[in-house]
């Protein structure tokens, strides 16, 4: 008999329901502090191959905030790579422990991409509204069945 996995019963949020957050998080070793304060622009999961590599799982859970809504104390290191979309994707991480602090995409230069797990213990407000890059989703990675799946990016990101 297959295992019984909990199913999410949350419904996708409209853009008017995106929460305001005012949170502080630290990397694993404590060298970097990130403060995020503002209205969340989008909350989603991404199953692209790169997110799978970086997260060590089948997807990443992320939140988008306006870039000016975050501040970082401590020196990060960055890594840039070309994304499937043709954009340049840059991850900023702690050079000591490797924790991803935030990321940026040239496709959406006004936004910071934050890993929701960075706010562990204070991220109950996170309600993803879609899965992007479903084309590389792995069957063993369970995603809530109410979420819309998009093969690549959405044309009108929320």
% of the chain residues with pLDDT over 70: 87
Residue 39 clears pLDDT 80, i.e. is over it: yes
Mean pLDDT in the chain?
84
d(CA 127, CA 45): 10
- Structural domains in the chain, CATH included, are 21-146 (2.170.150.70)
- At 61-104, the pLDDT tens digits run 899 999 999 999 999 999 999 987 788 999 999 999 999 999 99
Cα three-residue angle 149-10-128, rounded to 5 degrees: 45
């Amino acid at each position: 008999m297959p295992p019984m996995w909990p199913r999410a019963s949350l419904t996708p949020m409209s853009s008017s329901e995106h929460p305001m957050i005012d949170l502080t998080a630290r990397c694993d070793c404590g060298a970097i502090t990130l403060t995020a304060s503002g209205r969340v622009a989008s909350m989603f999961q991404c199953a692209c191959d790169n997110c799978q590599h970086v997260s060590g799982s089948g997807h990443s859970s992320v939140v988008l905030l306006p870039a000016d809504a975050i501040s970082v104390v401590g020196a990060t290191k960055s890594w840039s790579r070309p994304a499937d979309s043709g954009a340049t994707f840059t991850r900023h991480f702690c050079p000591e422990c490797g924790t991803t602090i935030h990321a940026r995409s040239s496709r959406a230069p006004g936004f910071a991409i934050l890993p929701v797990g960075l706010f562990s213990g204070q991220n109950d407000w996170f309600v993803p509204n879609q899965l992007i890059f479903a084309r590389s989703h792995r069957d063993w990675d369970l995603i809530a069945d109410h979420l819309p799946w998009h093969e690549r990016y959405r044309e009108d990101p929320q």
